Amino acid sequence: MTKKTELIEFGMATVTPSGLKFQGRMFTNTKMIKNQWFLMSQLYGEWEVPVIFKPAAPDSIAILDIKGVEVASTVVVSQISDLDVKEAYFEAFNNLKTRLALQRNSLHDPED
């Protein structure tokens, strides 16, 4: 019996205000949202991050970082055809980022 090895490839993904863009798909995870990657890309410009992925499993990628590896999952916004639903999705996403930022700031700057 022979064991099949799964092909793993290396690539570069782009951090954008809408999410992590890689091979025409958008990805996200809690760490990116918590660390405000998407807001920072909106304020300071987009940047690239190294990723590894399995071509046979395109719904998730692994983001390479000095501190380790983080898995990100795909966000399928392109399948949403109703403009109002898309806008509500992005509004909820941005509200979540804002709430996380406020919560983070309140932890770092406690009131006297």
Say if residue 14's pLDDT is above 60. Answer: yes
User: Domain map of the chain by residue range?
Assistant: 9-108
CB 37 within 8 A of CB 15: yes
The per-residue pLDDT for range 30-81, each reduced to its tens digit, is 888 888 898 899 899 999 999 999 998 888 898 887 776 676 766 665 555 5
Cα 18–chain centre separation: 8
What is the predicted pLDDT for the residue at 4? 66
Say if residue 84's pLDDT is above 60. Answer: yes
What is the predicted pLDDT for the residue at 98? 78
